[in-house]
Structure formats: structure tokens, C-alpha cells
Structure 1
Amino acid sequence: MTQPPLSADLAIAAIQQQCSVDKDTSLATSERLIRQAAADGAQLVVLQELHATLYFCQTEDTSVFELAEPIPGPTSRRLSALAAELGIVLVGSIFERRMNGVYHNTAVVFERDGTIAGLYRKMHIPDDPGFYEKFYFTPGDASFNDGRNGFTPIDTSVGRLGVLVCWDQWYPEAARLMALAGAEVLIYPTAIGWDVTDDPEEQARQLDAWVTVQRGHAVANNLPVIAPNRVGTEPDPSGSSDGIRFWGNSFICGPQGEFLARADDHSETLLSATINRSRSESIRRIWPYFRDRRIDAYGDILKRVRD
């Protein structure tokens, strides 16, 4: 069946929540906010990174792999049923068990009928104090995208979604590749926060950098950005640090980086906004970055270091 033409306006929602050690509790919070978003008219709802669990990457612990699930699996089936019941496109996040020894940090996009429109497996994997993700996650590949580049948008009934995950948000290459492949919006489910021992000035600099780089991707690619992040302080299970205070500040911005909605640093929040699809096209006509790209001069971008 041919899809009807997409309307110019798209109602979107991003969910900022605190997570629990218990999956059912976390997912119940997600479900309550998803239902509220749908009741408010959202057509596209985006959840934060690893929203079903605490952020377990503060330590390296092999028992944590028991949290991983296949896709389809319990969490994906629950989100699938919710998308179908509410008639929304839903972006969720799952600690995916792909096979013995291969696990991914995976964003799953569910269509309005509950089918899986596509997967995005996190490509850039950090390994920093308190964020030991390389211990848990294999970098993504192109296996779900018909052999195409891993940075491939996912086609849905509400448009072509450029889904990335957290650490990917610091890389202009990822955003640009999604834009070049026709993404109509950039989406960054996130779990990022402060070392609680950092001084307030350093915390402010980190938060400002996080917001600025993503708004920069919006500006450089003339695309809206949806960036939901978690809130709450989560202890370090090992006791070797004071844990992480997740800084929230989830936001939705337009294709010139303008804020359409923004959350605070501590509240459970449902952000809502309406984006106009035609704005990216009109902005690209007067700010023609893509026309003026010097692709003949960018070969060295594929080198680790320019000598």
C-alpha cells in the first residue's frame, strides 16, 4: 500500500526520566510518559539511552551481561505492542545480546503497527572513567542496513530518521553521513552526566559543550535534533567513585539550532515540539553548505592523523 504524503508538520516528544535497578519499574515509567506523549498528539516519541536499566557501565562486571536481551525479546516486544496500540513511531534503547560474546548498545525504531522499522547499533564506543562501554558493547556494523554504511537513516511513516546514540553525538562525521543519506531529523538517545566531585565551573563547561556540539550538527546539516538524556544520581556499584549525576537538559532544536523545547537538570520531563519538514529545504536554499562542499579536497579525513 502506498503511504499517504507526509504532512509538513511533525509532532515529536522526547522523554527524560530517572531509571531504576528494576527493569519493570524503569519501563513502567517510560510507558506512562509514552502514553502521555501520545495523548498529547505526538507522532514520534524518543526515549533516552539504556532507559530500562541503571547506567551499568560505571564498572566492568561480567554479571551485567545477564541484563542483555535478544531482539525480538521482552523489552522490544513490550515497546512494539505500545507503538502499535498508540499508533506512534517509537525509538527505544536496548542492551542487545546478538550472540554469545557479542553485545550492542542498540536503538530500535518501531513503526506505528509495531513492526521494527530498523536498528541502529552504536558505532562510537567510549572507554572513559565511569563510562567503560568498550567492556560491554561491540561497535555497530551494517548488518541491518542491507550491507550499507552503518550510518544509514531508518525509513518510517513519519520520515527518514537519522538515529545515533550518545557518544556518536560528538562526531560531525556521523551527523554529516546521516544527512548525506537523506536523514530528515537527527536523534541522539543519551546517558551522560557529571562526576559529582567536579567543581561547578567544570560541570557548566561540560554541559555547555554537550548542548553546543549537537546544536552545531543541526546548523551544519540544516536538520532538527532530538536529544533525550537521563536524570538522577546513580551510585558506582564498585564504590570506587561517588557515581554519576546525570545532567538531563534534554532538548529539541530546529534546523538552525534554535531551541524548541528544553528540560532542566533534575526533573522527569516530557518534552514536546512540532517541527516543520519544509524548513530544512528552505534553509538549504539560502545556506547551501551541501552545494559548496569541496569533496575533492577531503580525502585526508579518512586518515587517523595527517602527517
Structure 2
Amino acid sequence: MAGSKVVNLALVQMTCSTDKRANVDKAVERIAQAAAEGAHIVCLQEVFNTQYPCQSEDHANFDLAEEIPGPTSRRLEQAAKQHGVVVTCSIFERRTHGLYHNTALTYDVDGRLAGFYRKMHIPDDPLYYEKFYFTPGDTGFTIAETKYGKLGVGVCWDQWYPEAARLFALRGAEILLYPTAIGWIPEERAEYGEAQHSSWETAMRAHAIANGVFVGAPNRVGVEGGLQFWGSSFVANPNGTVLHRASSTEEEIVIVPCDLAMLDVVRTHWPFLRDRRVDAYQDITKRFIDASSSTSN
């Protein structure tokens, strides 16, 4: 492609133990491996330095959180600088006494903190009791401007919301990244598993198409407590085509070349941003449009 700008995007899919230091050591090793294999951007999964903490409402789990900067974020800063790669992830942030967030950090190739985003959409479902732990983000849908591209980094539940993807894109994101911790409740897998996985992937492929961007979602893998994480980390291009999908059971580093010049080609053929009726979307900020409040011309 004329004028191509290819960046190699790596997604790290891994298991996590109860040993926080071991998890960070493993992640740093994976960053080094991805860099050695040519990666420019390395994205880790959601709260990669611990097992997923929200399967129960347990005050002891707040001890897993860290201030920023803190031990984990400093290791990532060092890894980014040492290997000359962009590193992004999510960690359990302790902001102050009694105030915690699920926070995405992005470090540029020189170790500079290029992106800071606090998870906006907080779920509350069986084994996903995140409202007990995380305060909704107050950063807005920020962009990380890095040497290798402009990144919009949401976190897990954010990946279901077209409004969030659109706002990242409108701020200039070329790649949307969603560090993820999603899996099956094993006794529900036979009945709902295939549909759940398909919906998850389809929602993000739709973001890629509707916004003309690349999308990457690194998910954890393995069994933790009552959840079987389904892995299947993937990268989709601006046409929504899945360029690589990882194993559903094994650890893996996904490395995919992404030609950012493709954004202009796709957006000029499917000019969704051009044709948006920005004058007619005021009601999008309402929780619901009740019939009684509707008006007719």
C-alpha cells in the first residue's frame, strides 16, 4: 500500500497465579519476547498482575491495589524504555483511602507515561462484582499519543459500548485496545458459551468497522475460582476482519502487522465519519427516550 505505516501490535495472553510478583515477572518477560520478535506496541490483559479479584465482595482484595506510580507501573515503565516498545495494560489502582479504579496505563518507547485512562463502565454480574471495587472513571475517553500511533485504550466492559469506541475515534485513535478478563461460568458454557464468545468478538469487530480503526483485545486464559477465561485474544482490521485469533486454552503472544495507512483508504470508501448527523444526536445522552417525552413533527 502506497505510503504505508506498518506497526506490529502484540497482545499478551497469559495465565495468572496468586503470586503478584511472579505475574509481573512473567508479563515483563513476555514484553521482552514480543519486542525481540519485532513488536512495536505490546498490550497486556486486564489486571494482569493478579488473579481476577472481583469474583466475590471481599475487602481483603483491596490489598491487591497499588498507587500510580507504584511497583507494577514502574516495572512497565522500565520495560518500555529498555526494549523501545509501547506498553499498555490495566491495573487495580489505589487512588486514595477508599477510592479505587481499574486504570489503563500506556508507556511510550522512552518510558514516558503517554496515556492514562480510568475504566468508565463498571459491571455487576455473577462473579464480576466490580462495582464493589471500582469507582467509575473520571478521565473521559483519553488518547495515548505514542511513537507508533494514537491509541484509545478502554478496559473490558468498555468494549461493549459503541459510544466509547466512537469517542476514542473522534479524538484521533488509530488503534482501539481493550485489556480484558472475560470468561465462562463453566456450568453455563454448554448452553451459552458459543453465543457469549461470538457476541464479545462481534461487538468489537463492529467498532473497527464503524470507526475505521484497528481493534485489539488481549484476554486472560485459564481457570481462576469459578471462571474459565476463554482467551481467544484477537486483532481486527478496519474492515472488521480478524487477522489473528489466539487459542482459547493456551498462553500466547499474538503479533500482527497493522498498516495505519489503511484507515484513510477504508474511511474514504465507507465515510461514516463524514456522514454522521451530529446535529441530530442530542438524545444520545438520555438514559432512555420514553414514549411520553417523544414529539412528532
Question: What TM-score do you get using the length of structure 1 for normalisation?
Answer: 0.92
Letter in 2 for 1:94: I
Rounded to whole Å, the distance in 1 between the matches of 2:170 and 2:77 is 29
Q: 1:208 aligned to 2:198?
A: yes
Unaligned runs of 5+ in 1: 1-5, 143-149, 236-242
Rounded to whole Å, the distance in 2 between the matches of 1:193 and 1:185 is 24
Alignment-derived partner of residue 154 in structure 2: 164
Rounded to whole Å, the distance in 1 between the matches of 2:93 and 2:53 is 14
Map Cα deviations across residues 129-149 of structure 1 (whole Å, 9 max, x no partner): 11000110011112xxxxxxx
Rounded to whole Å, the distance in 2 between the matches of 1:153 and 1:108 is 11
Alignment-derived partner of residue 144 in structure 2: 154
Task: Specify which of 267, 288, 293 is matched with residue 250 of structure 2.
Answer: 267
Q: State how 1:276-287 maps to structure 2 within 5 Å.
A: 276-287=259-270
Rounded to whole Å, the distance in 2 between the matches of 1:37 and 1:260 is 17
Letter in 1 for 2:204: Q
Task: Specify which of 203, 216, 219 is matched with residue 209 of structure 2.
Answer: 219
Alignment-derived partner of residue 75 in structure 2: 78
Alpha-carbon distance, 1:201 to partner: 3.6
CA RMSD of aligned residues (A): 1.1
Q: State how 1:88-237 maps to structure 2 within 5 Å.
A: 88-142=85-139, 150-235=140-225
Count of equivalent residues? 288
Rounded to whole Å, the distance in 1 between the matches of 2:23 and 2:194 is 28
Moved over 3 A (4+): none
Map Cα deviations across residues 101-156 of structure 1 (whole Å, 9 max, x no partner): 111101110111112112111000001111000110011112xxxxxxx1121111
Alignment-derived partner of residue 12 in structure 2: 15
SS in 2 for 1:291: helix
SS in 1 for 2:187: coil
Task: Specify which of 42, 45, 54 is matched with residue 45 of structure 1.
Answer: 42
When structure 1 is superposed on structure 2, of 111-120 and 182-191 the one drifting more is 111-120
SS in 2 for 1:275: strand
Letter in 2 for 1:177: L
Map Cα deviations across residues 2-41 of structure 1 (whole Å, 9 max, x no partner): xxxx971111100000001111111122122111100001
Answer yes or no: is the 8 Å Cα contact 2:115–2:142 preserved in 1: no
Rounded to whole Å, the distance in 1 between the matches of 2:170 and 2:158 is 16
Map Cα deviations across residues 49-96 of structure 1 (whole Å, 9 max, x no partner): 010000010000111111111111000011111111101110022111
Map Cα deviations across residues 153-191 of structure 1 (whole Å, 9 max, x no partner): 111111111110000001000000111111111000000
Unaligned runs of 5+ in 2: 291-297
Letter in 2 for 1:259: V
